[in-house]
Structure 1
Amino acid sequence: MALSTLILTFTFIILAYYLYQRFRFKLPPGPRPWPVVGNLYNIKPVRFRCFHEWSQIYGPIISVWFGSTLNVVVSNTELAKEVLKEHDQQLADRHRSRSAAKFSREGQDLIWADYGPHYVKVRKVCTLELFSPKRLEALRPIREDEVTAMVESIYKDCTNPENNEKSLLVKKYLGAVAFNNITRLAFGKRFMNSEGVIDEQGKEFKEIVANGLKLGASLAMAEHIPWLRWLFPIDEAAFAKHGARRDRLTRAIMEEHTLARQTSGAKQHFVDALLTLQEKYDLSEDTIIGLLWDMITAGMDTTAISVEWAMAELIKNPRVQQKAQEELDRVVGYERVLTEMDFSNLPYLQCIAKEALRLHPPTPLMLPHRANSNVKVGGYDIPEGSNVHVNVWAVARDTKMWKNPLEFRPERFLEEDVDMKGHDYRLLPFGAGRRVCPGAQLGINLVTSMLGHLLHHFNWAPPNGMSPEEIDMGENPGLVTYMKTPLQAVPTPRLPAELYKRVAIDI
C-alpha cells in the first residue's frame, strides 16, 4: 500500500512539473510524452533519424522528453545558426551524465566542461598550442607513416594467393590507422607493431577504452529518470577502479616523457606539449589527463567511421571513384605516393571528403548543449537546464539549402565552396561556435589522406556476387554512426609494387 502511494505521489509530482513547464513556457511542439518516462519509449534506436521523422510532423524545432528532462532538437540551418551563433553563450554548457561527470572529474577536461574560465583556458591551450598549424605540420610524418602502413597491410592481404579476389573487412584497416595515429599523436606511443600485434601497454589501453564505454552505457535508465536513481545506484567502486587504472597508465606514459625530455628535449606529441605548458597555463594533472583522453575519445573512432562511409559511397558510385583516380594520376602520378602537401592540387578529393562528412557526419546529433539561462529559439522558449541538440545529419539534408541532398555528388562543392569548420551552418560535422571541435583540421587532413591513398593505390569493388546497390547503408544506434553492416570490399592494386611499402618514421 505504501509503495503504491509513493508511486502515485511521484507520478503526480512529475505530471504537475510537466504541466507547470507547459503553461509557464511556450515550448516547441513534439510527440506527447508519457508520465514519468516522457518520450523514451517512442524513440527509435537510431535517434537522429527518429528526430528527423518527428521534425517532418511537428516542425524543425521539437520538444522530446527524456524522463523529466526537456530536450529540444533543431533540424534546419536557420535554427542551427540561432543555437550555435546567436544564442551560443546561453547554450554553451554541457549536460554531464553521472558517468561523464566521473570520467571528466566533474568537467575538468574540455569536452564536458561548462562554459566559464576553465573552459576558456583549456580551449585556448587546444587552439593555440595543441592544434596550431605549426604543431599539426610537425606531426604530419606520423599521419603519413600510419596511412602508408595501412596501404602495405591491405596490399599484403589482397595479393596473398589464399585471398584471391576475396573481399576484405575495410573497417579492420581503418581502425588500425585511427588507433595507431591517435596514440602516437597523444602519447608518442605506437602500441601495435607492423604485424598487428599489440603490446602489453596497448592491451591495457584498449581494455580501459572498452571498460569506459561499458560503464557509460550501464546507467542509461537512471540518467533519464533522476528520482529513480536510488533503484540504479552508481557503482562507485567500479568507477574508482576504472579511474585509477586510466590514471595509472597515463601517469606512467607522462613519466616516460618527462625522463625523455631531460635527455633529448621536448617532442611535439600532445603529452609533451601539455607537460611543457602545465605551469604556463596552470593546468592540473586531472586536466592534463582529461585532455589527453578527450583527444582519444574524439579522434579514435570518428576518423575510421568517416572513411568507411566514404568508401561505401565510392563503391556505390564508380563514376566518382574513377574521377578521383584520374585527378590523383594527373597530380601524383605512378612514381611516388600521395602526401598532404598534394592536397591543395586535389580539389576533387577534398570535395569527396566533404561530401562524405555531409551525408554521414560521425556524430550526427553532436553532444547536447545545456541552457544556462532561459532563452528563445525559433520563437519558442527553452528553459534553463534544458538540453539542446543540433541534428547535423538532418541539417545536411535540408532541401531548402541543398539540391538533391540524398545524392552523393562531390561536384556540389566545386560549384559552391562551403566551409565545414563551423562558419557555414549548412554543414556542421565538427560543430560551430564556442564548442566547435578544435581538432577539425587534424580530422580533415587524416580523412583526406586515407581516402587519397586508398583511391590512388587500389581500385575498389563490392564483394563478388554483390551489386553496388546492395551495400547496406543503414546505421547502428549510438552516439557515433557506425555502419550497420561493416563494409566488405575487393581492392585491386593499380600502382607499381614498390609503392606499397611502409617507410616507418619515429618522431
Structure 2
Amino acid sequence: MAFPLLLLITSFLTLFIAYKLFQRLRFKLPPGPRPLPIVGNLYDLKPVLVRCFTEWSQTYGPIFSVYFGSHLSVVVNSPELAKEVLKDKDQLLANRNRTRQIAKFSKNGMDLIWSDYGPHYVKVRKLCTLELFSMKRIDALRPIREDEVTAMVESIFKDCVKTENVGKPLVLREYLGMMAFLHITRLSFGKRFMNSDGIIDEQGEELKGILNGAIKLGSKKSFAEFLPWLRFLFKAENDALAEHDYRADTFTKKIMQEHTLARKKTGNTKAHFVDALLTLQKEYDLSEDTIIGLLWDMISAGMDTTTITVEWALAEMVRNPRVQQKIQDELDRVIGTDRVMTEADIPNLPYLQCVVKECFRMHPPTPLMLPHKGNTNVKIGGYDIPKGATVSVNAWAIARDPKLWKDPLAFRPERFQEEDIDMKGTDYRLLPFGSGRRICPGAQLAINLVSSMLGHMVHHFTLTPPPGIKPEDMDMMEQPGTVTYMRTPVQAVLTPRLSGDLFKRVAVESV
C-alpha cells in the first residue's frame, strides 16, 4: 500500500518540476523568491501579506512572481505597472481566480465580484452601474445611511456619559461594526433586524451566524486549495462549505419570498437592493443564483470595508489631534453647534474630504486589490504572464512609495489641498476602489458613508487616547487577511461637544 502511494507522490513531483522547468524556459517570468516543489513560496510568506509583498518589491523590483502552491501569482507595485494591468491590458486580465470557497459563495461566478469577464459580467455590471448604484438610488437611500449613523452616535453617547464610563475609553469597533451591519442589511435586504430596544431579532441572529460562519471558513487556509489532486481527502471542509451554502441560500430565498409577497399586496417597490433586483429580474434576465450572489456581494463588500476604513480614520484622529481640531473648526464654521451634519453638507467640507482621501491612501481596506486572472498570455513590464496566472496590484505599497508621495508615512490631509488627486480609478497612485473594468461600482456610496460617519463622530465628540497611552505608542499594525482590520481595535475616550438633544437618532422606518 505504501509503495503505490510513494510512486504516486513521486510521479506528481516529477510532473510538477518538469512543468515548472518548461514554464521557466518558455516564458520570461518576473523575478521572485525561489519556490519549492508543491508548496511554492508558502513557507516564505509573512502573516500580513501586503507588508511582506512590499518588502519583496524592494528586493525583486516593482514586479515579481510568487507561487501559492503550484499557482503562479504576479504582484505589481508601481503606478505605471498598475496602469498596464488595469487599463492598457485590462481586458486580457479581467477574469477572476476562484477558490473552492469563493466558487461556493459566488455561485461559481454568477455574481459580479467573482465572475469572469464576458457577456454575464457586462450585463451584471450594467445593472449595478445604471440601477443599483446610480446617483438617483444612492440619494434615495440617503435617509437609511443618516438614520444608522445617528443611531450609532446616540448609542456611543449613551455609553460614554454613563457615570461608570466617564473618562474611560470605549472600543469603537463594536459600534462601527453594528452600524455597518444594520446599514448594509437594510440596503440589501430591506430589513433592520433590530427593534427599538436594541435587540436583534431571530432573522438577524441567523444572518449574523451565517456571516460568522463565512469568516471562519474564509480564515482557514486549506491545503486543498493548493493541492487540488488531493481534495478528496478534505471531506469535512467540503461538507462545511456545502452546509454554509445551504444555510445562506435558505435565508436569502426566504427574504426574497417575503418581498415578492409584499409587492403583490401593496404594488409598491422599495429603493433597497432586493426589491430592485426582483423588479429588474426579467428585464436583465437574472437567474436566482445571480440575485443571491449579488446580494451577498453587497454584504461582503459593504460591511467589513466600512468598519475598517472608519476605524483607521478614528485612530488617526486620536493620533493626530491637530487634524481632528482642524476638521472640528471646519464643521463648526459650516454647520455650527446647533444642528447635526447631513450628507448634503459634505461638498461644503473640503478639509473633511481631504481627510477621507488621506485615510483611503494610508489604509485602503483591500490593500492588495482582488487578483486579476489572465485569459491569455500577456506581457506586463516586459515580462511574460502565462494564461491562468493571477496578477495583484499592491495599492498599499504604491500609496506609501516615497518616490510618489512626500512624507508618505505621515498622516497629512493637506497633500490633497496641494494637489487634486482623484481616488476613483483615474490616478494610479491612489486606488482604494480599483480601476478599469473591475472598479468597485459602489465607490461613491462608500465615500459618502465614510465621510458621514467620520464627520458625525468628530463633530459630536472629541477623541483622546486612553489614560496612560501616548498617541505615538498606539498599535497601528494590520491584522492578517484579505481586508486589513487594525490588529488591536482602537480605543478612545470620547467627550461630547454638542448639546444632549443633538445626539438623538434620526429614525427612518422604511425607504
TM-score bracket for the superposition, by shorter chain length = over 0.9
Alignment of 1:22-41 (within 5 A): 22-41=24-43
1:346 to 346, 349, 365: 349
The answer to whether the aligner puts 1:357 opposite 2:369 as a matched pair is: no
Deviation at 1:6, TM superposition (A): 2.5
Does 2:439 match 1:436?
yes
**Hey, what does 2:320 align to over in structure 1?**
317
1:77, 1:398 within 8 Å by CA — same for their partners in 2?
A: no
1:20-419 equivalence runs, <5 A:
20-218=22-220, 220-233=222-235, 235-262=237-264, 263=266, 265-419=268-422
Q: Quick check: 172-181 or 3-12, which moved more?
A: 3-12
Which digits, 9 at most, give the CA deviation of each residue in 1:41-68, with x for residues without a partner? 1000100100100000010000001111
Q: Which moved more, 1:343-352 or 1:188-197?
A: 188-197
Q: Give the alignment partner of residue 461 of structure 1, picking from 451, 464, 467.
A: 464
- Candidates 491, 495, 500, aligned match of 1:497: 500
Q: CA deviation at 1:506?
A: 1.4
Question: Which deviates the most, 10-19 or 231-240?
Answer: 231-240
Deviation at 1:106, TM superposition (A): 1.2
Per the TM alignment, residue 287 of structure 1 is displaced from its structure 2 partner at its CA by 0.5
Does residue 477 of the first structure (1) align with residue 480 of the second (2)? yes
Displacement of 1:192: 2.2
* CA RMSD, Structure 1 to Structure 2 (Å): 1.2
State whether residues 364 and 392 of structure 1, in contact with CA within 8 Å, keep that contact through their aligned partners in structure 2.
yes
Task: Report the Cα offset of residue 18 of structure 1.
Answer: 1.1
Per the TM alignment, residue 219 of structure 1 is displaced from its structure 2 partner at its CA by 5.5
Structure 2 letter corresponding to 1:84: L
1:280-335 residue CA offsets vs partner (Å, 9 max, x unmatched) = 00001110111000000000110010000011111111100000000000001011
Q: Is the 8 A contact 1:421 1:432 kept in 2?
A: yes
**Alpha-carbon shift at residue 235 of structure 1 (Å):** 4.4
* TM-aligned CA deviation for residue 424 of structure 1: 1.1
Gaps of 5+ in 1: none
Structure 1 range deviating more: 184-193 or 55-64: 184-193
CA distance in structure 2 between the partners assigned to 1:361 and 1:98 by the alignment: 26
Quick one: structure 1 residues 235 and 315, their matched pair in 2 at CA, closer, same or farther if it must change by over 3 Å?
Answer: closer
Q: CA deviation at 1:83?
A: 0.4
* Per-residue Cα deviation, 1:109-167 (whole angstroms, up to 9, x for no partner): 11110000000000000000000000000000000010000110111011000111110
Residue 244 (structure 1) shift? 2.2
Change (3 A) 1:236 1:225: closer
Output the TM-score relative to the length of structure 1.
Answer: 0.98
Counterpart CA distance in 2 for 1:36 and 1:254 is 44
The change in CA–CA distance for 1:357 and 1:57 in structure 2 (over 3 A counts) is same
Q: Distance in 1 between matches of 2:11 and 2:250?
A: 46
For residues 231 and 69 of structure 2, what CA distance do their matches in structure 1 show?
12
Distance in 2, matches of 1:50 and 1:193, equals: 44
In the aligned structure 2, how far is the partner of 1:196 from the partner of 1:152? 12
Shift of 1:195: 4.0
| Residue type of the alignment partner of 2:450 | V
In the alignment, the residues of structure 2 paired with residue 476 and residue 196 of structure 1 have an alpha-carbon distance, to the nearest angstrom, of 29
Q: Which amino acid aligns with 1:108?
A: M
> 1:488 & 1:260 partners in 2: Cα distance?
43
Distance 1:366 1:233 in 2: 31
Which amino acid is the alignment partner of residue 65 of structure 1?
Y
Superposition deviation, residue 7 in structure 1: 2.2
Change (3 A) 1:195 1:168: farther
Is contact 1:219-1:234 (8 Å) kept?
A: no
How far the C-alpha of 1:3 sits from its partner, in A, is 2.8
Contact 2:146 2:506 in 1 (8 A): no
Residue 63 of structure 1: SS of its match in structure 2?
Answer: strand
Q: CA deviation at 1:198?
A: 1.1
What's 2:16 paired with? 14
Cα deviation digits, residues 412-466 of structure 1 (max 9, x gap): 1111111111111110111111111000111111000000000000000010111
Matches of 1:456 and 1:204, distance apart in 2: 35
Per the TM alignment, residue 279 of structure 1 is displaced from its structure 2 partner at its CA by: 0.6
Give distance in 2, aligned partners of 1:229 and 1:280. Answer: 40
Structure 2 CA distance, aligned partners of 1:475 and 1:403? 22
Q: Which runs of 5+ in 2 are unaligned?
A: none
| Pairwise CA distance, 1:271 | 0.5
Q: Which stretch of the first structure deviates more once superposed, 14-23 or 126-135?
A: 14-23
Deviation of the 1:234 alpha carbon: 6.7
**Cα drift, residue 209 of structure 1:** 1.2
Return the alpha-carbon distance in structure 1 between the equivalents of residues 84 and 179 of structure 2: 37
Q: Please give the secondary structure, in 2, of the residue aligned with 1:450.
A: helix
Question: 2-side partners of 1:3 and 1:240: how far apart?
Answer: 29
Distance across 1 between alignment mates of 2:81 and 2:210? 38
Distance in 2 (alpha carbons) for counterparts of 1:321 and 1:242: 43
- Structure 1, 228-237 or 403-412: larger mean CA deviation: 228-237
Identity rate, percent: 67
1:88-118: per-residue Cα shift (whole Å, max 9, x none)?
Answer: 0000000000111122221111111000000
How far is the alpha carbon of 1:404 from its aligned partner?
1.1
C-alpha distance in 2 between matches for 1:175 and 1:194: 18
Identify which of 415, 419, 423 aligns with 1:420.
423
The count of residues paired between Structure 1 and Structure 2 equals 507
1:423–1:432: 8 Å Cα contact kept in structure 2? yes
SS at match of 1:22: helix
